[in-house]
Structure 1
């Protein structure tokens, strides 16, 4: 098996890589590294996400840097802030034992002044988004006439995002005798246009097959009525007890609504899309990377640069129009030799789109029935049994407490004790699925009993209101109280933020939240009557990104929309 030393990687870089846990190079690294260290032509490398491409270009790039020269010698362009930061972090790790090499990520959404200060201190490698780099060039604070290597990472996505003109402008500021590398998951026609225009005698390297998904990924589809997609999503999640997944949606609105619904229904989920502020996006991504959140509901653009290992599932809440997008989504699971699952929840009108994806990636989707309640409960129970078997028991630490607990529970038989352990974990699941209907797609017109069952299921699922008039209701369900808080969607406030605030601000037992209705300038939500005053007291005076909150028991006579409009107009006047 080839080693990094045999590829020509220097000792300081090898030492850093070994400490990061890389024993042997991955296929893309074996093919790219020797060419970059030698006198090879320009390179187009077609490699899926997770194949080790950052090290493939990063290690030889670092080795070719002159540490004594503090001007930019290499430029890496990436489509998103997140990918910039990820690449910058990886290069910093690789160059741990080359202290004089400086890497600077520059991107929008962050202070340009601090980036200018970093450039003035001297850097050899710039990792940039195209828009911010052009701004810095126009300000005259960055010069690229000493750059000898240019890398375009995720070039297909940069083109999808409309960066072609920006890339051309940037390349016009770089010497013509540069070495250029272009990394892409797919090979759309525009990639070839760039290659022919800006690359000299380029060599094309293909790791895997063009437009093919990862080899270790199973492709599964569930076909349901469009109205049942959310119900099917929950079944799929419940059927995977240790799920760690990204759910991809087509629009920002769908992304937020599905995440809100999952959070409201007790799932550990967050949304990631372009309507969030950069600070909110950073918080969400950190929680997902740290596994504080197990389900990330995201748009394709927002998830770019989110490099996460060990995803168990990628779930397509409907199929994208572009096969390349599906390939990129599915390539996020099944990495580094591990198995992964790419699931598509589709309706009948998407079947043709699925067949086209199958044709291009050369794989067949497996059809599966949506998991039944009985199967889900059985799977969850066996998972609990497995966790009980594997739990680490610290005999010394628990010994002082065992006798007291044993006396308290000695009246229970083994069977009674087992039932109680199971009930602690499963009462919610058992209650939820007690009368759940079958939701698999049925080609024929549904019968009257099926329509009735679906209607009942929709009511249990708390289907979202159709308009703001319904959302603005002031009365709560029986046993609950309706609460108002003076912040809404226009402020970037969503259901996940509300749940986070309540968990953070209220000590003791977790507050049960019922229906949450988000309006542009305010939010109404239900809590148990016994918790209402405590919730109002906790929220009033708290802050959300600098905005002071006011909360009260919802008053049927108050015109909250008018109050929100006044607040909006006042803010406009203050800003002007």
Structure 2
């Protein structure tokens, strides 16, 4: 079996690895390190999923290749986020613990740039950086890349997804033509191929079977429920598995914060992680998460980059990412270090085809699971409570107090006492009376026409207005006076949306929005009986009579609405 001694690493690096407890290299390390260490440096492409040991795959060869007698910056590692940059730099520093002449510095946005400039004035051979901050430092002439021999593009696909293409082009223009470029990525989209063609010469490529390996430890599942019921469904999964610990991914910062707030209000250990938080706030959230002070982290894809936690049991997807390749990054947060994990997607009936697309793209099979019904949740909660009682160590004080309490229960039989104890547990169940007993939906149960007790409506408000589905329901509820729980499926397009409302509340629904204007634009609502929603959107956004009375403008911000 391959070990680090067979890969060509120096005795100094091997000694550090032994101290750090590294025993056997991963697949990407086994294949990449010998290539990167060869005397004639070569451009290199390493394709491997998150959590497969890529940092050591490029970091260990770098440490052996750096000339410590040269005080110039010789290696540049670019990462998409500050969290990943910090994590990478920390690991490189650990690898250089017995080489005091080699210095690693990390620079990223959100930190004091003056402090970073001072640090770079010291001898620094390896710089780990986010593209945006590195551009700032180059423009300030605080760093020179003219002696860089090695450039590492880490998580290259994510850097492109985050819009760093032009920054990467700009940064590479400051490096020597004869530098060596090592590119590591989980996927190989066309934009990555463009970089390869433009900046690399006859690169050697290693693609490990990381997808199959990681998926062995990850069970991929999905549930089908209305979009408006996704949060209720999540709560039920949290309730039946109190030991669950995971991350839920959301598309937007607003959605992330909203879900976190609603879970916190109901007593769940959840916090949000997104780009609107300061670096200090982000660090504090991650510290609490790693110390197990919370059960669930609610995060955007960008904010979650660089999170390094090996014992997550679940990854939840409130919505699938726009780029299906990003699913592998998300799901790779669980099933690490030999642990089993579950990746669970929440979809509505209209999104079922995306599961099929995903199965074809990443070559895994998704298992459909059911959201626990109220009855099942009740049974499981009570069973968990019974197991807790059975496994509780009796406190010494209990013997003293038992005789006093026993007198109060003297008139109750064992069966009556058990029933009363169970009733106290039922009183604490978190399911709301307004929630349906069964939150599951069937394939195709949500179509272009309303069904059951719901009617479907059109409104000329959409994603371009900066709304989440939750925001839209709040707005509809505030204007119409209909309780939020009586709204059903919401489908948002760029400039318009469709929503369902209980038939009992539909009378006069459209009339409630007469003369309502948002930022000078007339709001129109009507029954979706005739199709052609997008055309109506254009027709109804114009042609309002200017002499009509204008009601006070409704605000989309939740801070202006009370809670119902």
Scaled by the length of structure 2, the TM-score of the pair is: 0.74
Kept in 1, the 8 Å contact 2:313–2:334? The answer is yes
Higher mean alpha-carbon deviation, 303-312 vs 224-233, is at 224-233
- Residue matched to 2:400: 404
User: How far apart are the structure 2 equivalents of 1:258 and 1:434?
Assistant: 18
SS where residue 437 of structure 2 aligns? coil
* Structure 2: distance between partners of 1:27 and 1:420: 57
SS of alignment partner, residue 338 of structure 1: coil
Partner of 2:552: none
Structural mapping, 1:36-435, within 5 Å = 36-39=36-39, 41-208=42-209, 214-384=215-385, 401=397, 403-411=399-407, 427-429=427-429, 432=432
1:24-50 deviations in Å (ceiling 9; x for gaps): 111111111222222352211111111
Tell me, what secondary structure is at the counterpart of 1:271?
A: strand
The match for 1:438 is 438
3-state DSSP of counterpart to 2:277: coil
Sort the Cα spacing of 1:465 and 1:440 in 2 relative to 1 into closer, same or farther, 3 A.
closer
Alpha-carbon shift at residue 187 of structure 1 (Å): 0.9
SS across alignment from 1:214: helix
Is the contact between residue 372 and residue 438 of structure 2 (CA under 8 Å) also seen in structure 1? Answer: no
Quote how far apart the aligned CAs of 1:523 are.
9.5
For residue 190 of structure 1, report the CA deviation from its aligned partner: 0.9
Instruction: Deviation per CA, 1:58-81: give whole Å up to 9, x if none.
Output: 122122223333321211000111
Counterpart in 2 of 1:13?
13
Greater shift in the superposed pair: 369-378 or 86-95 = 369-378
CA distance in 2, matches of 1:45, 1:239: 40
Residues 497-534 of structure 1 show CA distances to partners (whole Å, capped at 9, x for unaligned) of: xxxxxxxxxxxxxxxxxxxx9968789789xxxxxxxx
* In 2: Cα distance, 1:160 partner to 1:173 partner: 23
Deviating more after overlay: 438-447 vs 89-98: 438-447
> 8 Å contact 1:211–1:361 — kept in the other structure?
no
Matched residues in 1 for 2:424 and 2:98: separation? 51
Kept after mapping to 1: 8 A contact 2:49/2:211: no
What's the counterpart of residue 461 of structure 2? none
- Contact 1:211–1:360 (CA<8 Å) still a contact in 2? no
Are residues 435 and 405 of structure 1, via their aligned partners in 2, closer, same or farther at CA, if it must alter by over 3 Å? farther
Secondary structure class of the residue paired with 2:85:
helix
Consecutive unaligned residues in structure 1, runs of 5 or more: 452-461, 474-516, 527-576
Bigger drift between 350-359 and 330-339 goes to 330-339
Contact 1:310–1:333, Cα closer than 8 Å, also in 2? yes
CA contact (8 A) 1:42 1:203 kept: yes
* 2:375/2:437 contact within 8 Å kept: no
User: 8 Å contact 1:219–1:342 — kept in the other structure?
Assistant: yes
The 10-residue stretch of structure 1 (45-54 or 409-418) with the greater mean CA deviation from structure 2: 409-418
Change (3 A) 1:314 1:127: same
**Counterpart contact for 1:220–1:368, Cα < 8 Å:** yes
Inter-CA distance 288–468: structure 2 relative to 1 (3 Å threshold): farther
1:500 equivalent in structure 2: none
Distance in 2, matches of 1:374 and 1:279, equals: 43
Change (3 A) 1:207 1:425: farther
Structure 2 counterpart SS, 1:135: helix
SS of residue paired to 1:343 = strand
Aligned mates of 2:5, 2:416 — CA distance in 1: 62
| Deviations 1:461-518 (CA, angstroms, capped at 9, x unpaired) | x9997249959x9xxxxxxxxxxxxxxxxxxxxxxxxxxxxxxxxxxxxxxxxxxx99
Other-structure match for 2:474: 466
Change (3 A) 1:417 1:338: farther
Structure 2 Cα separation of the partners of residues 92 and 418 of structure 1: 58
Q: 1:402: how far off?
A: 5.3
How many angstroms apart in 1 are the aligned matches of 2:475 and 2:431?
30
Deviation per CA, 1:256-280, whole angstroms, max 9, x where unpaired? 2111111112111111122222322
Structure 1: distance between partners of 2:192 and 2:372:
42
TM-score by length of 1: 0.73
Equivalents in 2 of 1:309, 1:251: separation in Å? 25
Work out the number of aligned pairs and report it. 466
Give the superposition deviation at 1:243: 1.4
Deviation of 1:142 after TM superposition, in Å, equals 1.0
Hey, what's the Cα distance between the residues in 2 that align with 1:386 and 1:52? 39
SS of the equivalent of 1:96 reads coil
Distance 2:350 2:402 in 1: 59
Match of 1:24 in 2: 24
CA contact (8 A) 1:228 1:439 kept: yes
Aligned match of 2:539: none
Q: 1:51 to 1:377 in 2, by over 3 A?
A: farther
1:517-557 CA distance string (max 9 Å, x none): 9968789789xxxxxxxxxxxxxxxxxxxxxxxxxxxxxxx
Determine the structure 1 residue equivalent to 2:521.
Answer: none
Superposition pairs of residues 483-502 of structure 1, within 5 angstroms = none
Q: CA deviation at 1:95?
A: 2.1
Query: 1:186, 1:211 within 8 Å by CA — same for their partners in 2?
Result: no
State the SS of the aligned residue for 1:151. Answer: strand
1:507 alignment counterpart: none
| Cα distance in 2 for residues equivalent to 1:115 and 1:295 | 33
